[in-house]
């Protein structure tokens, strides 16, 4: 159970705005002070019911919570009316719950640089950003309200936008490893002189590695979410709102368009182009150079499974 001070439902209503379809019950004096798992719900928990449940009405009727997020299939029954419950009707209660919990219950420390952090004198860090213990910050730029968790390394030439979260142990701006061979087989490493550009509202999970570009930049656009243990190679481009789950690897110059989802332990070949709204299934190995928009690909080597409806 995660607790907070009293939060008035009327303030949540203002926060959600047009996302609310309808409200049942008198919420004017109703309040919450916690979010919790199903077995720990009490009167002042913000409860929610997943759209995929087949027993939504029974869950609502029997919930201990005063206020419940539901979809349109849950009706304001006589039971709910007698208990003076408040129903907030939205399209996707899980998504709406996440927004409320992030806004009202997740309290991030802002504007603090831990004394153990090592920061280059040429780094530009907004006064509202936070740098935690053991971080190493090179000649980088970090924007408003961004948080760099403990022991992360931000290399030279990295630009991080506003409201970003870089989790512990991640390394942003490493050299890539493009090589050429001499006649005798020895390797000549190609120089990596570019940077890493990270947009706004991006989250990079723990122990990720993002390589700087060779002659241009590696780009992670606004709203991207990348889970832990991922590797993004040099010169990759991620469009807006790309979601990559854990332990996936994108080889050099991969281009991913907006709203693509890449599930865990995926490997994507170099110079692959993944078009918008595509989904790459868990464990897939992409050997194709192009994945068309709106398709789901799975397997090793990956093949089209179906359209993403």
CATH 2.160.10.10 in the chain: give the residue spans. Answer: 118-307
Q: Give me the pLDDT at residue 308, please.
A: 86
87-105 pLDDT per residue, tens: 999 999 999 999 999 999 9
pLDDT tens across 225-250, in order?
999 999 999 999 999 999 999 999 99
CATH architecture of 118-307: 3 Solenoid (2.160)
Annotation says 114 is catalytic: no
Is residue 117 very low, low, confident or very high in pLDDT (cuts 50, 70, 90)? very high
Instruction: List where CATH 3.40.1390.10 sits in the chain.
Output: 2-104
Residue 109's pLDDT band (cuts 50, 70, 90): low
Given a contact cutoff of 8 angstroms between Cβ atoms, the answer to whether 205 and 242 are in contact is no
Q: Domain 2-104, what fold?
A: 3.40.1390
- With 80 as the cut, is the pLDDT of residue 254 above it? yes
Confidence of residue 108 (pLDDT cuts 50, 70, 90): low
Question: Which residue of the set 114, 192, 234, 273 is catalytic?
Answer: 234
């Amino acid at each position: 159970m995660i607790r907070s001070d009293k939060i008035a439902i009327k303030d949540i209503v203002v926060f959600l705005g047009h996302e609310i379809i309808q409200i049942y019950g008198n919420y004017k004096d109703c309040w919450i002070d916690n979010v919790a798992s199903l077995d720990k719900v009490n009167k002042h928990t913000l409860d929610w019911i997943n759209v995929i449940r087949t027993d939504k009405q029974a869950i609502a009727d029997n919930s201990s919570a005063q206020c419940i997020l539901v979809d349109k299939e849950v009706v304001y029954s006589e039971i709910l009316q007698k208990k003076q419950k408040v129903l907030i009707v939205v399209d996707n209660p899980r998504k709406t719950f996440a927004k409320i919990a992030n806004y009202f219950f997740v309290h991030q420390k802002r504007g603090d640089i831990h004394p153990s952090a090592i920061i280059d004198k040429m780094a530009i860090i907004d006064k509202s950003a936070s740098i935690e213990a053991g971080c190493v910050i090179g000649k980088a730029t970090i924007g408003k309200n961004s948080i760099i968790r403990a022991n992360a390394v931000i290399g030279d030439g990295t630009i991080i936008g506003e409201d970003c979260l870089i989790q512990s142990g991640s390394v942003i701006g490493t050299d890539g490893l493009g090589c050429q061979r001499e006649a005798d087989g020895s390797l000549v490493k190609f120089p990596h002189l570019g940077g890493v550009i990270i947009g706004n509202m991006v989250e990079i999970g723990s122990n990720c590695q993002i390589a700087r570009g060779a002659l241009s930049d590696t780009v992670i656009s606004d709203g991207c979410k990348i889970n832990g243990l991922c590797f993004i190679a040099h010169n990759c481009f991620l469009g807006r709102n790309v979601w990559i789950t854990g332990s996936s690897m994108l080889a050099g110059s991969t281009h991913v368009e907006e709203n693509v989802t890449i599930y865990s332990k995926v490997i994507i070949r170099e110079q692959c182009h993944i078009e918008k709204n595509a989904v790459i299934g868990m464990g897939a190995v992409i050997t194709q150079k192009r994945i068309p928009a709106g398709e789901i690909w799975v397997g090793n080597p990956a093949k089209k499974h179906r359209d993403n409806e």
